Amino acid sequence: MDFLAETIAKLAVTPGQAEELVRGLSEQQLSWKAAPEVFSIRENVLHLRDIDIEGYAKRIRLLLDEPHPSLPDVNGRKLARERNYNAQPVQLALDDLRVSRSGSMQRLRDCFTQDLDRKAEMQGVGTIDLRRLLELWMQHDAGHIADIAELRRAIETGEGPVLAEHQAA
C-alpha cells in the first residue's frame, strides 16, 4: 500500500475510534478532567471535531485548490475555552467529525501521488507539503485518541468517576 492509501486508511478510522471510546460513559465521566490543564474526554472529542473542520479539512482544500497557499493555525485551547467544550454534546461532535472526515478522505482519494509534493506556508510551521501535513494530522489524531483511551482507562480503574453501568450498583 502506498503512503496516500495508508494515510487515508489511518485517518478514516479516527471518528469510529473516538465513538467506541466514549460508548457507555456518563455525562459526568465525559467531562471529568484528570487535571485542570488536561482536556476531558468530551473536550478531546470536540477538539478533534473543530481541528478537523477548521484546521485540516480547510488546509487540505486550500493546499489542493491554490498554488502555495497560506494555511492558518488553529488555537485549540482557545477554542475549548471560548466554546465551553465541556458543556457541548458529544454525539453531535462525533457526527460532525464523521461527516467532515469523510469529505476530507474523499478529497484525498481523488488526489494523485504528485499532489503530495504540493507546497504551502503553514502559520507557525513554515513551508510544508501535503505529505507532511498528512503526517501531522495522523500524529494529532493518534495523540488525542491515546489521551481519550488513557482517560477512559483511568475511569475504568477507579482513578476517575466510575463507569455508568457501575453507578447503579
Among residues 4, 40, 11, which one has the least CA distance to residue 137?
Answer: 11
* Whole-angstrom distance, CA of residue 28 vs CA of residue 164: 9
Q: Rounded to the nearest 10 degrees, what angle do helices 130-156 and 41-50 cross at?
A: 160
Residue 165: pLDDT over 50: no
Residue 7: pLDDT over 80: yes
Average pLDDT in the 98-120 region?
97
Pick the more confident residue, 66 or 162: 66
* pLDDT band at 1; cut points 50, 70, 90: low
Third-level CATH fold of 3-157: Four Helix Bundle (Hemerythrin (Met), subunit A) (1.20.120)
User: Which cell goes with 141?
Assistant: 489524531
Residue type, 30: L
Helix, strand or coil, per DSSP, at residue 79: helix
Residue 62: pLDDT over 50: yes
| φ, ψ for residue 127, nearest 5 deg | -70, 135
* pLDDT band at 14; cut points 50, 70, 90: very high
Q: What is the pLDDT of residue 155?
A: 95
* Whole-angstrom distance, CA of residue 131 vs CA of residue 123: 17
Q: What is the pLDDT of residue 161?
A: 73
